[in-house]
Amino acid sequence: MNGLRPLLLRLLGIIGIVLVVVSVCFALMHAVPGGPFDDGRDIDPATRENLLSRYNLNAPLSEQYVRYLDDVFLHFDLGPSLKLRDYSVNEILEESLPVSMVLGLFAMGFALLVGLSAGAIAASRRGTWLDTFVMGAATFGLSVPNFVIAGLLVLLFVFQWQLFPLVGLQSAKHLVLPSIALGLPFAASIARLFRTGLLEVLGEDWIRTARSKGLSPRAVLWRHAAQPALLPVVSFLGPALAGILSGSLVIEQIFAIPGMGSHFVDSALNADYYLASGVVIIYTVLVSTANLGVDVLYGLLDPRIEADT
């Protein structure tokens, strides 16, 4: 029971964070000038009143707020889309979120594979030209926007060599270029963090003891040094995983992937209150649960870390 108490407290904290986010979203969407039906078209007063009544937007704000909280927390209903009126926010996100998550998982897999490998190579060759090259490449990956990387990939692998398709999501082959473009900046961060963690661990006395037993440098690095060196990487993965899974508007637009990112921008431009709030709520849940997962993984990687910290 003592082990469950910190977890329950964190779950309650997530609920509290979502409550704050829902409240802020509600306040902001009603503070924005104009409304979802002020799109330049002439709508007669009777039609406007019917639309407002249909979506409960003509009720007092306090009543709207209580009803919105009831829908979100008790019925898990994020409301109707005010522009895509044949769909609810739940239906839109049920279609778009899995697409963004598939792309995000491929991108994060690429980032971990490349980042951990590059960080290990740089740490094991510290001070050599290879270390300089890997860290220079990581700096390049961090400084160049992913839409520039996407453009270069399209020019080379779509138009120049015609190795990959440009748009759509019909097969795993369609995921290669957007996954690289989305995951490369994360791979650069992982490489730098893993290199730093490895260099710190490789200087410890117990690592020298492992070397004195005749273990190969590869065995020392991956069997003994890698696990504690992963702690800074794990810290980074919490918010990074949530961000990458929730989708990238630019990458999804370039490769015509129908993910969640485009819905967020469209909803903001169209004053689609409930859809914009729904995307923000989903992102908040992803960030909170990812950070909770990071804390759990921290305890598995380093048992010295207390579960309630």
Given this model, what pLDDT does residue 130 score?
93
**Residue 76 has what DSSP assignment?**
-
pLDDT of residue 168: 75
* pLDDT number for residue 35: 67
pLDDT band for position 82 (cuts 50, 70, 90): confident
In this structure, of 5-14, 70-79, 131-140, the range with the lowest mean pLDDT score is 5-14
Which range has the worst mean pLDDT, 55-64, 119-128, 258-267? 258-267
Does residue 227 have a pLDDT over 80?
yes
pLDDT at 175 over 70: yes
**Residue linked to tokens 């082959």:** 173
Using DSSP's 3-state secondary structure scheme, residue 277 falls into helix
Domains defined along the chain, listed by start: 99-260 (1.10.3720.10)
53, pLDDT greater than 90: no
The predicted pLDDT at position 157 comes to 93
Question: Cα separations (Å) of 298 from 89, 124, 195, 237?
Answer: 35, 24, 18, 11
Supply the pTM of this predicted model.
0.83
Reduce the DSSP state of residue 65 to 3 states and report it.
helix
Task: Yes or no: say if 229 and 204 are a contact pair by the CB < 8 Å rule.
Answer: no
- The answer to whether residue 241 scores a pLDDT higher than 70 is yes
> At 299, is the secondary structure helix, strand, or coil?
helix
Cα angle at 291 between 287 and 295, to 5 degrees?
A: 170
309, pLDDT greater than 50? no
User: Can you give the pLDDT at residue 247?
Assistant: 63
Is a pLDDT exceeding 60 seen at residue 183? yes
- How many degrees, rounded to 5, is the angle at CA 169 between CA 165 and CA 170? 85
Mean pLDDT computed over 120-134: 92
| Residue-wise burial string across 96-119, b where 16 or more C-beta atoms lie within 10 A, e elsewhere | bbebbbbbbebbbebbbebbbebb
Please give the pLDDT value at position 28: 85
247: tokens are 């989708």
d(CA 200, CA 247): 34
Q: What percent of the chain has pLDDT over 70?
A: 92
